[in-house]
A and B are shown apart, each in its own frame.
Chain A
Amino acid sequence: MNTAAQLAPVVALVGNPNCGKTALFNALTGSRQKVANYPGVTVEKKTGRLTTPAGRSIEIIDLPGTYSLRARSPDEEITRDAVLGKIATERAPDLIVCVADASNLRLALRLALELKQVGRPVMMSLNMMDIARKRGIEIDIAALERELGIPVVSSVAVRRGGIDALLAALDTRLAAHQAAVPSAWRVPDAAALRGSQREADRMLQAAIRKVGRLDPGTAKADAVLLHPVGGLVILLAILFVMFQAVFAWAEPLMDAISEAFTWLGALVGAAPLPDLVRSFLKDGLIAGVGSVVVFLPQIVILFLFILLLEDLGYMARAAFLMDRIMGGAGLHGRAFIPLLSSFACAIPGIMSTRVIDDRRDRLTTILVAPLMTCSARIPVYTLIISAFIPDREVWGFVGLQGLVMFGLYAAGIMAALGVSFVAKRLFWRTTSGEPFMLELPDYKIPQARSVAFGVWTRALAFLKRAGTIILAMMILIWALASFPRPPEGATDPAIDYSLAAKIGRAMEPVTAPLGFNWQINVALIPGLAAREVAVGALGTIYAVEGGEDAPEKVGQILADQWPLATALALLAWYVFAPQCAATLAVIRRETGGWKWVGVTFFYMLALAYGAAFATNQIARALGAG
């Protein structure tokens, strides 16, 4: 036995976008990851371990979807290099599994022909056989094996027992210990591609007994959802419902969380502890963290919508509908998905720009992604809206608060379109760009487990932030707001003597034209680490200032102390403010330098200051001061 035999063999999953490769990966490894329907969403290399029925331990890699090994984007380069064994840190695959959607085999067969040239053992897994059968497609697997010259097995990734044949085949294949031969793969030119597609078409004729028509359900749905006018109206309606839901459905849950923290605060408040310790626990820890955790329901609802639409296969349609509109602003239709993800958080949004092949299109998208209203802004918006905007209905059925929320989202979108329009002319001086070419997959019913797992990981990530960065910031704010202690016999609130007040007042000359008071200034500083911290910071500052006031009354305190113009200016500030260190860090990573970080930070800061200034001045002039 040599040492290589002791290492688990590596099996790489390669396939077209939307072939159900990620679902197969989940079924094989048991890890419940995101299963998306949008071409190219698997941007990171995923690995998992599994033990075959014969007791063999295998390492599985899930590679980004591609139509060819001829890589066109950073994603596809990963697939090519991994397959060719060119990634220095990774072992070359011992077996390549070409995953194919059984109901959409044509492009997969061409890819399989390319994979065969690599010189490593290859087999094919015909995924979604159940769907193909339902559509009346009959595949002669023996004929396909003969034509392709590699083993072919069928699988149904989303059904229990659906991958037994694949597991058995993995065992047989790996037991054969077929040695790799030098790769004969060369970057194909058009003639080679054309030749291999013709060859694939010939095989298809030999192996498919009955050709399926366009999925009738998809055809019916697309007649409505891709209708030139109706489709756009429905897309807008979906977005509108999504944002109303974020506001309305989350409320009972938020109230419950808020009450729990109040109860906890009261418990600590009544405990026999030294004043300083009690203040730290109640005003620093509980008030601070509580005011952020309360937004968990809204974040869960937002991600639920995004993941459902993705798994349903609607996202590619949204890109189709939006391509011309976004093209007018200099954005690529493919940018729609990264930008929509940025409504949840700019970080996954910016990471998913890897599906855009053209560097200039990609940079433009990265530049404007932070303008999409991310979930971290929701706490700030919600706090101010519920404090200052009356809770009543307009036009008989739309909540005014939800409408203002929608307006803030719209402002972010308009700004993004404007900035990309300018950037395209300022930086690139070009209007023609990357072609828009995208597969529209058949609609699929989202798998409850997959969606639930996606939402769960997002919720965990948010809570982890609340437990780490946000918690640390809260403690810092509390310390700044509590020290130095007021002198004996002081009459003003304790916070007036603190370091926080000094910092906030020092910033007043700069922020006074925006209508910001020193309390807001203090809250803006930790907001740089994470936007939602600003809310917790305001909670801490006013809780400390107000002594025994409960943290959930912050909104009420703000309504009493701030003029409306200030509140509106702060909303305007947050539409644009570059206040998220994590986003800037991911821009640095994705663009490979500080230049675009600097550009993003300063243009957003300038927009934020300008918008808050204009809002404050106009609101005052209209009598809202």
Chain B
Amino acid sequence: MTAPPTIALGEAPVGFRGHITALDLERAPAVGLPPPELERRLIELGFVEGAAVELLHQGLFGGDPIAVRVAATTIALRRREAMAVIVTEMS
């Protein structure tokens, strides 16, 4: 058995459904926050390993920001920050 392929939530298309496998702060270097702080904020908004995610909407310019359903909450964030959220598609 091989592990299912993962992508960053920041590069997922609208309609993507899956769940979070990890938070990788090194994938979001452009964010103006120290990585531990970004990690804590993501967790506080419910981005925790195992949580179901669905990419609901995106903005006009560069598909940014995105609106993501995390478990039972809808969160808006930029793709830049969402790069730190590693997800795998629902099979």
Contact = CB atoms under 8 A, between A and B. Distances in A.
Q: Do A and B come from one complex?
A: yes
A191 to B, nearest CB: 10
Given A189-B40, A324-B62, A106 B67 contact: no
A316 B27 CA distance: 27
Interface in B28-66: 30-33, 36, 38-46, 48-51, 56-65
Interface in A404-447: 430, 432-441
Given A228-B60, A323-B65, A324-B59, A439 B44 contact: no
B62 to A, nearest CB: 7
A146 B8 CA distance: 37
Interface residues of A, number: 48
Contacts of A190: 36, 39-40, 43
A278 interface: no
B8 to A, nearest CB: 15
Contact of B60 (A103, A197, A232): A232
Contact of B59 (A193, A321, A437): A321
A436 B60 contact: no
Interface string B1-38: 00000000000000000000000000000111100101
A433 B42 CA distance: 16
B73 to A, nearest CB: 6
Contacts of A441: 74
A56 interface: no
A438 B76 contact: yes
A434 B38 CA distance: 10
Contacts of B46: 106-107, 197
A228 B36 CA distance: 32
A229 B80 contact: no
A49 interface: no
A114 B44 CA distance: 12
A614 B28 CA distance: 46
A226 B67 contact: yes
A70 B69 CA distance: 24
Interface in A93-140: 103-107, 110
A324 B60 CA distance: 8
Given A201-B48, A432-B32, A320 B72 contact: no
Given A324-B61, A440-B75, A432 B48 contact: no
Contact of B44 (A104, A107, A214, A435): A107
A433 B32 contact: yes
A189 B73 contact: no
A70 to B, nearest CB: 7
Nearest to A208: B72
A67 interface: yes
Nearest to A321: B59
A194 B74 contact: no
B71 interface: yes
Contacts of B30: 432
Given A321-B59, A433-B32, A440-B67, A193 B72 contact: no
A147 interface: no
B20 to A, nearest CB: 11
Contact of B73 (A106, A194, A198): A106
Nearest to A196: B43
B47 to A, nearest CB: 9
A325 B63 CA distance: 12
Contacts of A358: 32
Given A432-B30, A437-B81, A201 B50 contact: yes
Contact of B45 (A107, A189, A214, A433): A107
Interface in B72-86: 72-78, 80-81
Contact of B33 (A70, A201, A316, A434): A434
B65 A436 contact: yes
B77 A436 contact: yes
Contacts of B74: 214, 218, 439-441
A333 B33 CA distance: 16
Contact of A68 (B44, B50, B62, B80): B44
Given A68-B44, A222-B57, A323-B59, A439 B73 contact: yes
Given A106-B46, A323-B59, A434-B33, A439 B67 contact: no
A193 B44 contact: yes
Contacts of A193: 40, 43-44
A212 interface: yes
Nearest to A436: B78
A68 B44 CA distance: 7
B65 to A, nearest CB: 5
22 contacts: A103-B72, A104-B73, A106-B72, A188-B40, A189-B36, A194-B49, A197-B43, A222-B67, A228-B59, A232-B60, A325-B61, A432-B32, A434-B33, A435-B32, A435-B33, A436-B65, A437-B42, A437-B76, A438-B76, A438-B77, A439-B74, A439-B76
Interface of A: 67-68, 70, 72, 103-107, 110, 188-190, 193-194, 197-198, 201, 211-212, 214, 218, 222, 226-229, 232, 316, 319-321, 323-325, 333, 358, 430, 432-441
Interface of B: 30-33, 36, 38-46, 48-51, 56-65, 67, 69, 71-78, 80-81
Pick the 10 closest A-B CB pairs, nearest first: A228-B60, A67-B44, A226-B57, A432-B32, A440-B74, A193-B43, A324-B61, A435-B81, A190-B39, A437-B77
